[in-house]
Amino acid sequence: SLLRFFVLQKYAYPADELMPLSCRGRVRGQEPNRGDIDDSLGMFSLTLIDTLDTLVVLNKLDEFEDAVRKAVRDVRLDNDVVVSVFETNIRVLGGLLGAHVMADLFYQRGDRMQWYRDELLHMAKELGHRLLPAFNTTSGLPYPKVNLRYGILNPLSRTGTESDTCTACAGTMILEFAALSRLSGESVFEEHARKALDVLWERRQRGSDLVGTVINIHNGEWVRRDSGVGAGIDSYYEYLMKAYILLGDNVFLERFNIHYSAIMKYISQPPLLLNVHMHNPTVSVRSWMDSLLAFFPGLQVLRGDLKPAIETHEMLYQVTKQHKFLPEAFTTEFRVHWGQHLLRPEFAESTYYLYKATGDPYYLRVGQSIVEKLNAYARVPCGFAAVQDVRTGTHEDRMDSFFLAEMFKYLYLLFSEKSELPIDIDDYIFTTEAHLLPVSLSTTQPPCQHNNSDTVPITQQEDLFTHSCPSTETLFPNNPSFAKTIRDSYKYLTGVGRAFHPLPVRCGHKGVYRVKLVAEVSQTPEDEEVVPHVVQLISPPFLGRTVLTAGPAKFGMDLSKQEYGVKGSIVKASPYTACGPIENTVELKGHIALALRGDCMFAAKARWLQEAGAIGVIFIDHREGSSSKETPLFQMVGDGDSTEDITLPLVFLFSREGAVLTAALEEHHNVDVLLLPKERQLGHKTEKPISMNIKLRLAHEGELEEGADRGPTLEFVLEKEEVLLKEEEEEEPSGERQSQQQFCTKATEDNRSEPCSADSSETPTSSSGPEPNP
């Protein structure tokens, strides 16, 4: 990494970034405009400032002192350029503060930097004042951009027309701004950062305790209501936890714990982390994840919640093993959604935290794989180049400053002993850009006269607010590699993936508005989602009495269109996983095959078995103990290619149901089964259910008086504390949707409820949807 730093100085300085393929610096305005990406470039030698404290961690103290001299001498902050408030804060302000803390430490020690007179702190204070105009909004949330010279709303500023910002953009200011206030003695920075956090907290959805992704900076209304832990929200949660560690303010811990409880309740589906609607958290809004969520296992380690951290990290590692790098976004099937890899450091960050927490050498091997892949697939003569598409390995002429600021810092710390470091790393907290701020700031009295953050009402269980977490050495004294037992549960993840399942619907929230609604009931055709199927054993001695619940497939023969299902004798495929040419084709031909889940896709297995002459396939889960009574049914889906060539009927049994079937085969050798939808099983007499389409509207005065002559109606009393005017329209990749009419009310002076404007919107339907992989 030191070599890369000298390459940067040789080819790129004083430009903001190095272009590793062109071997020259990227100067804003002299290269093709890349849109918002260029808003991190402010003509302030971005990569130099972002990398200063990395040189200290690498124990390159002479180089650090030279680089500080260069920054003090050359960097100017009054440039007429529009920059991202968020990126400038975490990269430049954070870089100046981290470097100042290191320079001041060496000055206090007396062994170097004796010429230093807080020049970096003065630069940080100047930059802070240049960012402050962004907070000039009615809500207190900052504008997303600011002109370093002209601020906001100046005729020359070329910014100030924006109306919204991301949650992370507004909520990732407190570490840098509070540190600046406490180091400089000027309270204004910390006050503004706290106010922004207060607004986000107040605007959380009170029922789910989740926040959205994009918010209006003027009125505080949510613009995008999808909620997750990845792009757009990630560092908001991170900074609540780290603000508590850095500043010692319990308010931040209490808020974080409430949010964290909601995340684990709604978003976490181990090992996946899937976005949901903040107002309707039982609805998953997409079936893919972005790479920025890779920081979350590290944050869970900070909180002391190791098990889900290990699970999610292992899932991410399996994705990197499959694609060499973590794609910018990937599906729940672990396929590439967006192929870019920008040399992001979040996965390395979580790897470092997990190794530090567990001491498990497994994470050293993970780190080694990161280094090897960087050298093999990203290293170029003038640096390290981002990967344009992990599927092709093509490079992009781009090396963001965070690569040197974060990636090398975490990798170096992963493999270093504490004695090799010039500082005690445990005395510092990492910002989201991995800049070092001393935890001793918690003992520094904030310069403001009062705490702007209100105390959180303690409405949750007391254990949410515990201030310490149990030691893993205490919990597992005889098993130092306990993490392995957790990882082993996910050893089948490579190329397998899983789908997301909706969470159970929870109760509404009692409030103060009482609304009388009328439900008008009409019959509509049943809208089937995951239709349960069965494997019914019909040969003696079972005679139809043994019925095993099975999941269907979204490809192959549609059993719902077969009047009498498909009947046949069962035969175990060889090999049992059916991931290659079938060896027992003679026995299998004309029979229904049994095949074990795992090692390859469902569609691949089906093709091999169809080629061998099978007339149907029953897949059996490889996970021990799984059961349809405990796990939601899912629909098997194809492998992304056309599956029209597959004409077999396909069903899926969990392992307990599968064990009944295989035991019957071993005992009786000749077992006939019937594959069909559950409602058509032999001996099962049911009428087709009637689905109700319920439309809610406000009742007119006196409409439901006794004796009123109406058709079939249902009367509801809705009690709710707050009113949602309009849900954001989101679309799941499947495109399946259902219409839903929303209502809101307002109280009049005579305490009657009147309807207020509310638009209809559409919300994705959700069911135990397709699980894509074997």
Highest mean pLDDT among 37-51, 497-511, 721-735: 37-51
pLDDT at 519: 36
- CA dist., res. 536 & res. 551, Å (int): 13
Evaluate if residue 234 carries a pLDDT over 80: yes
Please give the pLDDT value at position 309: 97
Gap between the Cα atoms of 290 and 556, Å rounded:
31
* Residue 592 near residue 616 (C-beta atoms within 8 A): yes
**Per-residue model confidence (pLDDT) at position 137:** 95
Digit-coded pLDDT (tens) for 514-565: 333 333 333 333 344 678 999 999 988 888 889 999 999 989 999 988 878 8
Q: Are the CB atoms for 12 and 24 separated by under 8 Å?
A: yes
- The CATH code for residues 533-680 is 3.50.30.30
Of residues 125, 250, 221, the one with CA closest to residue 176: 125
> What's the mean pLDDT in 319-348?
96
Pairing outcome for strands 650-653 and 616-620: parallel
> Average pLDDT, stretch 112-126?
97
Q: Are 261 and 281 in contact (CB under 8 A)?
A: no
- Beta strand 650-653 with 546-550: parallel, antiparallel or unpaired? unpaired
Q: What gap in Å lies between CA 217 and CA 85, rounded to an integer?
A: 13
Domain boundaries along the sequence of the chain: 513-526+690-764, 533-680
**Residues 274-289 pLDDT 10s:** 999 999 998 889 999 9
Predicted confidence at residue 765, as pLDDT, reads 35
25 forms beta bridges with 18
Phi and psi at residue 267, to the nearest 5°: -90, -35
Higher model confidence: residue 188 or residue 692?
A: 188
Kindly give, in sequence order, each residue whose CB lies less than 8 Å from that of residue 344, ignoring residues fewer than 6 positions away: 291, 292, 294, 326, 402, 407
The stretch 393-416 carries a mean pLDDT of 96
Distance CA 145, CA 40 (A): 10
Higher pLDDT, 133 or 539: 133
- Tell me what the mean pLDDT of segment 142-165 comes to: 95
Tell me the C-alpha to C-alpha distance, in Å, between residue 638 and each of 102, 416, 595, 601, 623. 55, 45, 16, 8, 20
Chain segment 720-730, per-residue pLDDT in tens: 444 333 333 33
Work out the average pLDDT over 498-524: 37
pLDDT of residue 307: 94
Secondary structure class of 680 (helix, strand, coil) = helix
547-578 b/e with 16+ CB inside 10 Å = b?
Answer: bbbbbbbbbbbebeeeeebbbbbbbbbbbebb
User: In this structure, what DSSP letter does residue 264 have?
Assistant: I
Residues labelled as active-site residues: 87, 234, 328, 346
Determine which of 200-209, 430-439, 449-458 has the lowest per-residue pLDDT on average: 449-458
Tokens of 397: 């002429």
The whole-number pLDDT of residue 11 equals: 84
What is the Cα gyration radius of the chain?
30
Distance from C-alpha of 235 to C-alpha of 240, rounded to nearest angstrom: 8
Contact 52, 104 (CB under 8 A): no
Q: CB of 163 within 8 A of CB of 421?
A: no
Provide mean pLDDT across the span 475-504. 54
Distances (CA, A) of 391 to 236, 579, 737: 32, 23, 32
pLDDT (average), residues 304-316: 96
Q: Which helix (H) or strand (E) holds 701?
A: none
Closest C-alpha among 340, 352, 347, 348 to residue 385: 340
Q: Measured between alpha carbons, how far is 220 from 139 in angstroms, rounded to an integer?
A: 6
Q: What confidence score (pLDDT) does residue 465 get? A: 40
User: Bigger pLDDT: 560 or 708?
Assistant: 560
Taking a C-beta distance cutoff of 8 angstroms, is the pair 327, 337 a contact?
Answer: yes
First to last CA, the chain: 41
CA distance 396 to 45: 21
pLDDT of residue 678: 87
Question: What confidence score (pLDDT) does residue 544 get?
Answer: 84
DSSP conformation class of 186: -
- Write the CA distances from 27 to 67, 178, 398, 627, integer angstroms: 20, 31, 12, 59
Residue 156: its pLDDT value, please?
94
The residue-averaged pLDDT of 242-252 equals: 96
Contact 433, 88 (CB under 8 A): no
Most confidently modeled range among 286-290, 459-463, 544-548, 753-757: 286-290
More confident residue, 61 or 730: 61
Query: Which pair of structure tokens corresponds to residue 753?
Result: 């409820």
**Percent over 90 (pLDDT), the chain:** 65
Q: Residue 200: CB partners within 8 Å, gap ≥ 6?
A: 141, 167, 170, 171, 211, 215, 236
**Closest CA relative to residue 184, chosen from 93, 249, 110:** 93
- In 3D space, the residue among 313, 320, 309 whose CA is nearest the CA of residue 495 turns out to be 320
Q: Which residues of 385-415 are buried (b: 16+ CB within 10 A; e: fewer)?
A: bbbbbbeeeebbbbbbbbbbbbbbbbbbbbe
Take residue 443 and report the two structure tokens written for it. 């003992």
pLDDT band at residue 12, thresholds of 50, 70 and 90? Answer: confident
Residue 611: exposure state from Cβ atoms within 10 A (0-12, 13-18, ≥19): exposed
Residue type at 156 in one-letter notation: L
Dihedrals phi, psi of 199, to nearest 5 degrees? -65, -45
What is residue 529's predicted lDDT score, i.e. its pLDDT? 64
pLDDT band at residue 107 under the 50/70/90 scheme: very high
pLDDT exceeds cutoff 60 at 769: no
Are 82 and 39 within 8 A, CB to CB? yes
pLDDT per residue as tens digits for the range 171-208? 999 999 999 999 999 999 999 999 999 999 999 999 99
> What does pLDDT average to over the chain?
83
pLDDT category, 698, cuts 50, 70, 90? low
> Which of 268-272, 576-580, 635-639 is predicted least confidently?
635-639
